[in-house]
Amino acid sequence: MAVTGTHLATWVTPETKQRFAALARMQELSESALLKRLVVLTLQSTNVASLDARPTRRTARDARLCVRLRSDDQRLLRERAAARSMAPATYVSVLVRSHLHLAPLPKEELLALKRSVAELGAIGRKLNQMAKAANAGGRVVPVRDDLRAMLKVCEGLRDHVKSVVKANVSSWETGDAKAGD
């Protein structure tokens, strides 16, 4: 992948360089990443954007928010994100969105719900076939066994969806995703 940016450099005193390096380490960034962040923040806080009306390709990156966490909070964040099979940054993003009342579901839980919807769709198609056969005067055999099987699947799906929703709500309220829920 080719780099499409350009290089920006400056000269500072050795003391300033040491202090800057210490600040970068404190924020768990490279000196280059910290310098880039400072340049971007400075440009965003001024009216320089009006000078260049070209749209940027990295608008999603412009929406970044940097948060400092204590080391024990970082550890807890990594544990909770891992419990949901998510990257820590993704977990924080989902958590923030849930508190903004957008309540997203993590990918695995969303996939489980999608599978349930697919099962319900298959049941609906089977019921539709049976109804068409009954309306056409055809014989619907064995109706009772098919209905019992579909009812059993529907009840199982209902219970499964309820448990996924309950676990999701509970884990966001307490912060812990329970394995196997």
Per-position DSSP letters for 95-127, written without gaps between them: HHHHHTT--PPPHHHHHHHHHHHHHHHHHHHHH
Both tokens assigned to 18: 């040491």
Please determine, for residue 22, whether its predicted confidence score (pLDDT) is greater than 70.
yes
Summary mean pLDDT of the chain: 76
Residue type at 67?
Answer: V
- Rounded distance between C-alpha atoms, residue 22 and residue 18, angstroms: 6
Give the end-to-end CA distance of the chain in Å, rounded to a whole number: 41
Crossing angle between the packed helical segments 107-135 and 143-174, to the nearest 10 degrees: 160
Give the pLDDT score at 15.
92
Query: Has this prediction a pTM greater than 0.75?
Result: no
Instruction: Using CA atoms of 141, 145, 149, 150 in order, give the dihedral in degrees to the nearest 10.
Output: 50
**What are the C-alpha distances in Å from 127 to residues 139, 149, 174?**
14, 12, 41
- Rounded distance between C-alpha atoms, residue 76 and residue 82, angstroms: 10
- Rounded distance between C-alpha atoms, residue 27 and residue 151, angstroms: 56
Highest mean pLDDT among 12-16, 45-49, 130-134: 12-16
CB atoms within 10 A of CB 79: 13
- Rounded distance between C-alpha atoms, residue 88 and residue 28, angstroms: 15
Match 């196997």 to its residue by tokens: 180
Q: pLDDT grade, residue 74 (50/70/90)?
A: very high
